[in-house]
């Protein structure tokens, strides 16, 4: 067989064709052109840079040269043939990762770590190729979390133990008698460091624990009364939920501890929870935040919930803006879907969480400060950050079939998941071989309660307490949601939204006319600082009581209601159905997960798990004929990153 010969023109034309066919982002093509324009346009470099850029779009923060050598067709979602067709134009390619590294290191556009740095756009770190900004972000995150994990403080063990015994009194009777009390242990661990990660599935008590941690800090910190505590989350909804749960937990605790600790003062002083964008001071038209190393955040303790949704760039910005003296507590479920943008930061940071990996020194500290003994299974050397990481393991909200289903899916046990779905227990339902019509029926009954209030006129917007009426409609709307895996097609967000609106109109429940109509639920798809609405916010369109005929979109923030004139909202889409990704940080009484007919890299275990765990009382799975559920449960999300290695080898 003739050896392939490099033909740069043919390579460009193949890249353009792939882009025309929608197999490659235009951006990836343009990026490869940009790289080529900066020096010699070596075909191997053109190929590597287009693949690197494309993988960034799939959430990977770098390209493993071993994957490039083996052929990254699967990572790209291509067939082997497609990859071969493209690669042959780049000529004989390096056979393995080392040979790729050697070849790329010789390109002027690539900075090989240790060589002369003149701000080349690509970085070669061992056998990983990076866009410079992701390499910088990973280094920043690795260095910051490792430095923080190493910087443990002196703790008065006896005092901490005394307080923990009070704060977790009666736990043995209400909690799990077997094994250590992970919540108590998490408080002790978090108290000694300037970073702590508390991970766990839904209802495992992450917020319950962090409320006790705050009380503990309040009781033991030298200048407790002046501690500045900030609460934040990636979305407005998650931030509002965090604040509500922490306030509730602290109020319950205040009753329990009585006058020994003025916890109500603490609650009042904490202020509202904010989105990370708002906390960092996002500004229109720039990726740079107002807060950074040179203008750090004014906080002593920062609690970030739903950390699995935080992407690499945001985590780097957050750590950059956090003063070295402040404590960072990350809360989240490591098994949920990773962020939409590149990185899987929480998953990388706590990949050891299940095993523990605690050293003898941590064991001694935990025993002294909390009285908890760790079984041998959790002893090892999981690394520096593992010493500041705790996984909560007992769900208090999720004992029933939804919890069992989530556990089975998370464990990759498809037969067990199917058995739970088929058992016919209340709380879980499986509609197999579904037709779209069945989803429309579910939508009609699920959205019935909010449409009833909207349509009966019993709370006419013009003669009763309008805000209370709006709140009631919004709360009812928030109790039901249809989640999709994909955006397009009959089983995607767009197809289902259209069909549901049509169905509700047919039933006389809605009167859609044009883009905006009374009752239309919308999701904001882009931050808009002018109107103060943010990506992921969900609102409902209702008549404006102050302007006859005008429509406003109302948003619920905790208990508060906020509104914006509909015509001022530019980036919104109808939200009867939404993607599982966008549903993260929310919970609905009844959640319907609709799986599409087409298989694909998007249908993963993490997606199904995240969908199930959005349901608090009722979960309905709607699936096409065949083995789509089993296939999804078997497929794990994979995101290439160098973060774990960097944390292990970070210079500090
Ligand atoms: N040790 C405990 N004893 C009694 N109740 C508890 C305990 N831990 C948690 N709970 C209760 O269990 C419920 C779930 O706890 P919490 O909201 O803190 O979980 P979470 O992990 O933050 O959940 P999510 O992931 O949904 O945010 C709450 O009602 C909480 O009060």
User: For position 229, which CATH number holds?
Assistant: 3.40.50.300
- The region, left, alpha or beta by phi > 0 then psi within -120 to 50, assigned to residue 471 is alpha
Q: Is 203 annotated as a binding residue?
A: yes
The answer to whether position 251 is within a domain reads yes
| Whole-number pLDDT of residue 105 | 92
Q: Of 64, 85, 69, which Cα lies nearest the Cα of 18? A: 85
Name the CA radius of gyration of the chain, rounded.
26
Structural domain span for residue 182: 142-396
Tens-digit pLDDT profile for residues 434-478: 889 999 999 999 999 999 988 876 455 555 688 888 999 999 999
Please say if the pLDDT value at position 167 is more than 60: yes
Q: Mark which of 396, 415, 449 sits at the end of a domain.
A: 396
Reported as half-sphere exposure (CB side, CA atoms, 13 A), residue 133 has a value of 11
Helix (H) or strand (E) holding 125: strand 122-125
* Residue of higher predicted confidence among 431 and 179: 431
Helix (H) or strand (E) holding 617: strand 615-622
Q: Which residues, in sequence order, are bridge partners of residue 545?
A: none
The answer to whether position 131 is within a domain reads no
Residues 430, 563 within the same domain: yes
Please say if the pLDDT value at position 287 is more than 90: no
Alpha carbon of 60 to ligand 1 centroid (Å): 33
The answer to whether position 278 is within a domain reads yes
| Highest mean pLDDT: which range of 175-179, 343-347, 427-431, 485-489 | 427-431
Residues 505, 584 within the same domain: yes
| Whole-number pLDDT of residue 264 | 79
Instruction: Give the mutation target among 175, 183, 200, 205 for probing the ligand 1 site: most ligand atoms within 8 A of CB.
Output: 205
User: Quick one: pLDDT band at residue 651, thresholds 50, 70, 90?
Assistant: low
Q: Is 202 annotated as a binding residue?
A: yes
Task: Please give the C-alpha separations between residue 361 and each of 184, 355, 358, 392, 649, in angstroms, as whole numbers.
Answer: 18, 17, 8, 21, 21
Residues 342, 405 within the same domain: no
Q: Of 457, 493, 462, which Cα lies nearest the Cα of 577? A: 493
Residues 457, 369 within the same domain: no
CA gap 370, 365 in Å, rounded: 8
Backbone CA torsion sign across 269, 275, 280, 284: negative
CA gap 98, 108 in Å, rounded: 18
The pLDDT of 566-584, averaged and rounded, is 93
CA torsion, ordered 78, 80, 81, 85, to nearest 10 deg: 80
The answer to whether position 542 is within a domain reads yes
Residues 249, 118 within the same domain: no
Residues 169, 314 within the same domain: yes
pTM: 0.89
CA gap 459, 474 in Å, rounded: 13
Residue 126 DSSP label = T
Q: Of 233, 236, 403, 195, which Cα lies nearest the Cα of 332? A: 233
Q: Phi and psi at residue 353, in whole multiples of 5°?
A: -60, -40
Alpha carbon of 206 to ligand 1 centroid (Å): 6
Beta carbons of 636 and 604 less than 8 angstroms apart = yes
Tens-digit pLDDT profile for residues 205-227: 999 999 999 999 888 877 767 78
Helix (H) or strand (E) holding 122: strand 122-125
* ipTM of the complex in this document: 0.98
Q: How many structural domains does the chain have?
A: 3
Q: Is 59 annotated as a binding residue?
A: no
Ligand 1 atom index nearest CA of 333: 25
Alpha carbon of 202 to ligand 1 centroid (Å): 8
| Whole-number pLDDT of residue 457 | 61
CA torsion, ordered 39, 41, 43, 49, to nearest 10 deg: 60
The answer to whether position 3 is within a domain reads no
In three-state form (DSSP H/G/I as H, E/B as E, the rest C), the secondary structure along 434-465 is: CCHHHHHHHHHHHCHHHHHHHHHCCCCCCCCC
For 344-498, list the strands marked E by DSSP.
389-392, 428-431, 480-484
Q: Of 513, 507, 512, 571, which Cα lies nearest the Cα of 539? A: 571
CA gap 631, 255 in Å, rounded: 49
Residues 110, 15 within the same domain: yes
Q: Give me 607's structure tokens.
A: 């997606």
| Whole-number pLDDT of residue 448 | 92
Find the residues whose C-beta lies inside 6 A of ligand 1. 171, 174-175, 183, 200, 202-208, 245, 396-397
User: Is residue 26 packed enough to be buried (19+ CB in 10 Å), middle (13-18) or exposed (0-12)?
Assistant: exposed
Ligand 1 atom index nearest CA of 241: 27
Q: Give me 145's structure tokens.
A: 């979390």
Ligand 1 atom index nearest CA of 168: 1
| Whole-number pLDDT of residue 141 | 96
Please say if the pLDDT value at position 171 is more than 80: no
Q: Is 205 annotated as a binding residue?
A: yes
Tens-digit pLDDT profile for residues 1-10: 455 667 888 8
Alpha carbon of 257 to ligand 1 centroid (Å): 19
Residues 323, 437 within the same domain: no
Question: Whose alpha carbon is nearest atom 24 of ligand 1?
Answer: 202
Task: Please give the C-alpha separations between residue 417 and each of 196, 202, 423, 438, 634, in angstroms, as whole numbers.
Answer: 33, 17, 10, 22, 12
Alpha carbon of 243 to ligand 1 centroid (Å): 14
Q: Is 204 annotated as a binding residue?
A: yes
CA gap 570, 216 in Å, rounded: 45
Largest pairwise CA distance in the chain: 85
Tens-digit pLDDT profile for residues 362-381: 999 999 999 998 888 899 88
Q: Using the CB atoms, write b or e for 379-391: b if 16+ within 10 Å.
A: beebbbbbbbbbb
Residues 551, 490 within the same domain: yes
CA gap 62, 59 in Å, rounded: 9
For 456-575, list the strands marked E by DSSP.
480-484, 521-524, 538-543, 551-557, 560-565, 572-574
The answer to whether position 134 is within a domain reads no
Alpha carbon of 172 to ligand 1 centroid (Å): 15
User: Quick one: pLDDT band at residue 185, thresholds 50, 70, 90?
Assistant: very high
Residues 152, 291 within the same domain: yes
| Whole-number pLDDT of residue 1 | 47
Q: Residue with structure tokens 């353009």?
A: 16
Beta carbons of 86 and 15 less than 8 angstroms apart = yes
CA gap 151, 573 in Å, rounded: 46
Q: Mark which of 348, 374, 396 sits at the end of a domain.
A: 396
Question: Whose alpha carbon is nearest atom 7 of ligand 1?
Answer: 205
Task: Please give the C-alpha separations between residue 499 and each of 181, 238, 444, 446, 478, in angstroms, as whole numbers.
Answer: 49, 29, 11, 15, 20
Question: Whose alpha carbon is nearest atom 15 of ligand 1?
Answer: 205
* Residue of higher predicted confidence among 627 and 174: 627
Alpha carbon of 143 to ligand 1 centroid (Å): 32
The answer to whether position 647 is within a domain reads no
Q: Mark which of 363, 396, 429 sits at the end of a domain.
A: 396
| Whole-number pLDDT of residue 173 | 42
User: For position 118, which CATH number holds?
Assistant: 1.10.10
The answer to whether position 644 is within a domain reads no
| Whole-number pLDDT of residue 4 | 62
The pLDDT of 314-340, averaged and rounded, is 93
In degrees, to the nearest 5, what angle opens at C-alpha 151 toward C-alphas 145 and 152? 115
Backbone CA torsion sign across 380, 381, 387, 390: negative
Instruction: Give the mutation target among 180, 200, 208 for probing the ligand 1 site: most ligand atoms within 8 A of CB.
Output: 208
Beta carbons of 632 and 604 less than 8 angstroms apart = yes
CA gap 59, 581 in Å, rounded: 13
- DSSP for 47-109, please give it: HHHHHHHHHHHTT-SEEEHHHHHH--HHHHT--HHHHHHHHTTB-SPPSSHHHHHHHHHTSTT
> What is the percentage of the chain residues whose pLDDT exceeds 70?
96
Task: Please give the C-alpha separations between residue 304 and each of 132, 228, 234, 256, 388, in angstroms, as whole numbers.
Answer: 27, 14, 8, 26, 15
Residues 166, 106 within the same domain: no
């Amino acid at each position: 067989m003739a050896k392939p010969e490099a033909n740069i023109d043919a390579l460009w034309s193949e890249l353009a064709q792939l882009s025309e066919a929608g197999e490659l982002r235009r951006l990836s093509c343009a990026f490869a052109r940009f790289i080529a324009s900066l020096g010699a346009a070596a075909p191997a470099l053109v190929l590597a840079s287009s693949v690197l850029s494309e993988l960034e779009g799939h959430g990977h923060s770098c390209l493993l040269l071993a994957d490039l050598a083996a052929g990254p067709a699967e990572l790209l979602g291509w067939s082997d043939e497609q990859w071969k067709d493209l690669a042959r134009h780049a000529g004989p390619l390096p056979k393995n990762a080392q040979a790729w590294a050697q070849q790329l290191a010789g390109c002027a556009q690539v900075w090989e770590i240790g060589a002369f740095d003149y701000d080349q756009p690509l970085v070669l770190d061992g056998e990983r190729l990076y866009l410079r900004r992701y390499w910088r972000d990973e280094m920043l995150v690795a260095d910051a979390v490792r430095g923080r994990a190493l910087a443990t403080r002196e703790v008065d063990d006896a005092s901490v133990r005394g307080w923990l015994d009070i704060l977790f009194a009666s736990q043995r009777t209400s909690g799990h008698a077997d094994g250590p009390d992970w919540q108590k242990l998490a408080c002790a661990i978090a108290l000694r460091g300037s970073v702590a990660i508390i991970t766990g599935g839904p209802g495992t008590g992450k917020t319950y624990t962090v409320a006790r941690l705050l009380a503990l800090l309040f009781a033991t910190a030298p200048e407790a009364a002046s501690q500045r505590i900030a609460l934040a989350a990636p979305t407005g909804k998650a931030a509002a939920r965090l604040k509500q749960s922490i306030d509730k937990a602290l109020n319950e605790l205040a009753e329990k501890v009585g006058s020994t600790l003025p916890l109500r003062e603490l609650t009042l002083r904490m202020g509202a929870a904010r989105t990370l964008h708002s906390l960092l001071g996002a500004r229109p038209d720039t990726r740079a935040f107002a807060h950074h190393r040179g203008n750090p955040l004014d906080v002593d303790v920062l609690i970030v919930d739903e950390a699995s949704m935080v992407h690499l760039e945001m985590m780097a910005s957050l750590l950059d803006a956090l003063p070295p003296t402040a404590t960072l507590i990350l809360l989240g479920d490591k098994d949920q879907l990773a962020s939409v943008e590149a990185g899987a930061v929480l998953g990388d940071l706590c990949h050891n969480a299940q095993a523990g990996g605690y050293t003898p020194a941590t064991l001694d500290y935990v025993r002294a400060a909390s009285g908890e003994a760790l079984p041998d299974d959790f002893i090892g050397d999981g690394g520096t950050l593992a010493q500041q990481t705790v996984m909560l393991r007992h769900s208090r909200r999720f004992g029933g079939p939804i919890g069992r289903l989530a556990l089975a899916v998370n464990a990759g046990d498809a037969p067990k998941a199917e058995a739970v779905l088929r058992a016919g227990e209340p709380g879980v339902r499986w509609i197999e071989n579904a037709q779209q019509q069945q989803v429309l029926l579910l939508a009609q009954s699920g959205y019935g309660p909010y449409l009833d209030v909207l349509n009966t006129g019993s709370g006419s917007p013009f003669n009763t307490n309008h805000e209370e009426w709006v709140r009631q409609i919004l709360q009812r709307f928030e109790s039901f949601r249809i989640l999709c895996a994909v955006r397009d097609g009959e089983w995607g967000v767009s197809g289902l939204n259209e069909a549901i609106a049509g169905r509700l109109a047919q039933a006389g429940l809605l009167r859609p006319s044009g883009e905006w109509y009374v009752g239309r639920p919308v999701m904001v798809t882009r931050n808009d600082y002018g109107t103060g609405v943010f990506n992921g916010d969900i609102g409902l369109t209702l008549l404006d009581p102050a302007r006859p005929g005008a429509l406003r979109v109302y948003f619920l923030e905790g208990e508060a209601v906020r509104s914006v004139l509909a015509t001022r909202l530019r980036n919104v889409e109808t939200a009867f159905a939404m993607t599982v990704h966008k549903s993260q940080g929310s919970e609905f009484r009844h959640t319907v997960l609709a799986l599409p007919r087409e298989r694909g890299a998007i249908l993963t275990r993490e997606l199904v798990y995240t969908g199930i765990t959005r349901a608090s009382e009722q979960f309905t799975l709607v699936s096409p004929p065949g083995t789509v559920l089993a296939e999804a449960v078997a497929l794990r999300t994979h995101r290439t990153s160098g973060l774990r290695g960097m944390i292990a080898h970070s210079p500090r």
